[in-house]
């Protein structure tokens, strides 16, 4: 697999390969992630390493007063509805949707193997109203996508994720690209070289996700 530094100006390192668990894990350990490119009719699997890279410092999450109120309204769960979270993130009616059936199936396999995880926001009525999913390796969590059906529901999931990662000793939360919305929550951008330094340290740390008794 080509190194992250081989990326073109758009951040694309290469096109092709497969989505088998070993391929995906090798990619994440080397600072790459998959995302199809194309017009929806003919899509190619591309491997990305943006420069700069967006991360959320685990001590830098900004929790507004309104978000604190939302935290009291919802329940956060982990890995109880992974497929439903991915399906919601893959909704074809969402703008910019990129999660194809092949991508969803690939992360489902990673989930069954214990590498991919979901953080879910549930309403008092027991409905899934928001969440996110990503890949955990050592002390890094690579966020892939999030969704919400109710105000602040995806933010509540993010707060739950940060709390779990901090409790487990994680050091890196990768969110790929920054947006104004993510920046408002504390996301910052790192040069690729600095990101790679943090990544290589984080992937060799003990598993930060495996907290079966963790409760947010």
Q: Does one domain contain both 161 and 123?
A: yes
Same domain, 151 and 176: yes
Domain, as residue range, for 95: 53-202
Q: What is the count of structural domains for the chain?
A: 2
Q: What is the pTM of this model?
A: 0.93
First and final CA of the chain: distance in angstroms? 38
95 & 158 share domain: yes
Q: What is the pLDDT along the chain (216 residues), one digit of tens a residue?
A: 666 667 888 899 999 889 999 999 999 999 999 998 875 555 789 999 999 999 999 999 999 999 999 999 999 999 999 999 999 999 987 776 789 999 999 999 999 999 999 999 999 999 999 999 999 999 999 999 999 999 999 999 999 999 999 999 999 999 999 999 899 999 999 999 999 999 999 999 999 998 655 555
Indicate if the alpha-carbon torsion angle 153, 159, 161, 163 is positive or negative: negative
Between the alpha carbon of residue 188 and those of residues 37, 58, 175, 198, the distances in Å are 25, 11, 10, 14
Query: Does residue 101 fall inside a structural domain?
Result: yes
Q: Is 14 inside a domain boundary?
A: yes
Other C-beta atoms within 10 Å of 40: how many?
Answer: 10
In whole angstroms, how far apart are CA 216 and each of 14, 43, 102, 123? 39, 39, 32, 15
> Does a structural domain hold residue 210?
no
Considering the domain architecture, whether residues 34 and 116 belong to the same structural domain is answered as no
């Amino acid at each position: 697999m080509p190194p992250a530094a081989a990326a073109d100006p758009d951040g694309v390192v290469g096109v092709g390969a497969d989505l088998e668990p070993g391929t995906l894990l090798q990619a994440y350990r080397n600072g790459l992630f998959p995302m199809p490119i194309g017009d929806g009719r003919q899509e190619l699997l591309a491997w990305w390493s943006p420069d700069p890279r967006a991360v959320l410092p685990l001590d830098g999450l900004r929790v507004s007063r309104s978000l604190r109120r939302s935290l009291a309204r919802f329940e956060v769960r982990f890995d109880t509805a992974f497929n439903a979270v991915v399906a919601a993130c893959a909704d074809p009616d969402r703008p910019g949707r990129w999660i194809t059936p092949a991508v969803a199936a690939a992360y489902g396999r990673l989930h069954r193997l214990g590498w991919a995880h979901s953080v879910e926001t549930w309403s008092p009525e027991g409905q899934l109203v928001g969440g996110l999913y990503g890949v955990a390796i050592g002390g890094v969590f690579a966020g892939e996508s999030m969704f919400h059906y109710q105000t602040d529901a995806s933010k509540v999931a993010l707060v739950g994720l940060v709390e779990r990662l901090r409790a487990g000793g994680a050091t890196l939360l990768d969110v790929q690209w920054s947006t104004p919305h993510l920046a408002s929550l504390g996301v910052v951008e790192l040069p690729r070289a600095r990101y790679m330094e943090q990544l290589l340290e984080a992937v060799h740390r003990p598993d930060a996700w495996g907290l079966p008794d963790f409760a947010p």
